[in-house]
Amino acid sequence: MESLGVVKHIFLAKFKADITPERIEEFIKTFGNLVTVIEPFKSLQWGEDISIENQQQGFTHVFECTFDNVEGLDAYLAHPAHVEFANQILPAVEKYIVIDYKPMRFV
């Protein structure tokens, strides 16, 4: 196996029932803007659950952030813009999961 040399930060969210689609869209735009504000934050991909397996346990959205290394992730987590964003989005979320990992691939 070979390391891809980056760090991924995965955020799975289930928004509260009273959070409108428009508000969720605002959160997504704000999240995306963090890429331009926080230098170690290299990219953001996101999507909504489309699974037909019904194994998502209520989670509706997935966000995948990419960083060059663990130090970049640490800088992102401590950055005031991220802290402010987290303080905005977390009250709108019923439950969430965060996983950080270093992707590997089979050679």
Token readout for 52 is 């037909």
The predicted structure's pLDDT at residue 4: 72
The tens-digit pLDDT sequence of the chain (107 residues) is 767 789 999 999 999 999 999 999 999 999 999 999 999 999 999 999 999 999 999 999 999 999 999 999 999 999 999 999 999 999 999 999 999 999 998 87
Which residue type sits at 30?
A: T
Does the domain formed by 2-105 have CATH 3.30.70.100? yes
Separation of alpha carbons 74 and 77, rounded Å: 5
The predicted structure's pLDDT at residue 79: 98
Active site (annotated) includes residue 79: yes
The predicted structure's pLDDT at residue 73: 97
Kindly report the length of the chain.
107
Residues 4, 101 contacting (CB under 8 angstroms): no
The predicted structure's pLDDT at residue 9: 98
Separation of alpha carbons 15 and 41, rounded Å: 24
Active site (annotated) includes residue 96: no
Delimit the domains of the chain by residue range.
2-105
* From 9, 61, 76, 82, the catalytic residue: 76
Residues 44, 63 contacting (CB under 8 angstroms): yes
* From 9, 79, 96, 101, the catalytic residue: 79
